Amino acid sequence: MSLPLPRNTPTASEISSTLPPSRRRFFQLSALSGVGVLALSACASNDSLARQANAGDNKNFIAGDGSVAQYAINERKEPVVLAGKLFDGTAVSSTAWAGKVVVLNFWYAACSPCRLEAPRLEALYQEFKADGVLFYGVNIRDREPEAAAFERTFGVTYPSMEDSGGGVLLAMTQYVPPQAVPTTLVLDKAGRVASRILGLADQGTLKALIADAVAGK
């Protein structure tokens, strides 16, 4: 399902033209390269995202508009506080992330852009492991068998939290809401949201955002 851009919602390029580069950078990503064009809609509300997660039809998705926001250090909100469980039952808490850069990717198995970006995320996970960067998927819909099949198919080796109940999603609403599937967040070493990608993640752009967070930018 694709949602139209609300009439009063500015595009990423319109926003970026009004902000100095030193404060916040917005990028417009191409949806696909070499495999056709996937139409990405505007950001959906958190209520819509929650309804999507509970729909259970494994067909429709709400995609971002392809924009990327990087937040200046003095504009970042308080450190993220959340707790969840991996599909194997292992507890995950943001309290264990102190001093680490963390990448959170919101996804589910039937989401077409999620399938396209999975190998990119895995490649970056492998690249940044030596720097201590942690990667977590946040699966908003699937049960363990569907999630495990996805991970086997696309070679994903970093863990995912099971969030069909929406606990992690709800915790993020007070910081920088995901608002779309897929969404990728980069948390700095203080646990604050440093950047956000709404929609399909471009590997080069995400690499630059992670590298900046590792460097303390």
The lowest-confidence range among 11-15, 36-40, 210-214 is 36-40
**Per-residue model confidence as pLDDT tens digits over 150-205:** 999 999 999 999 999 999 999 998 898 877 899 999 999 999 999 999 999 999 99
Which long-range contacts link 167-173 to residues 24+ away (Cβ below 8 Å)? Answer: 167/82, 167/83, 167/84, 168/82, 168/84, 168/138, 169/46, 169/49, 169/50, 169/53, 169/106, 169/138, 169/140, 171/80, 171/81, 171/82, 171/83, 172/80, 172/82, 173/46
Determine if the pTM surpasses 0.75.
no
Burial class (CB in 10 A: 0-12, 13-18, 19+), 33: exposed
State mean pLDDT over 134-144.
97
Domain ranges of the chain: 12-214
Per-residue pLDDT, 215: 97
pLDDT above 90 for 42 = no
Pairwise CA distance, residues 170 & 166, whole Å: 6
Which of 3.30.830.10, 3.30.460.30, 3.30.70.270, 3.40.30.10 is the CATH number of 12-214? 3.40.30.10
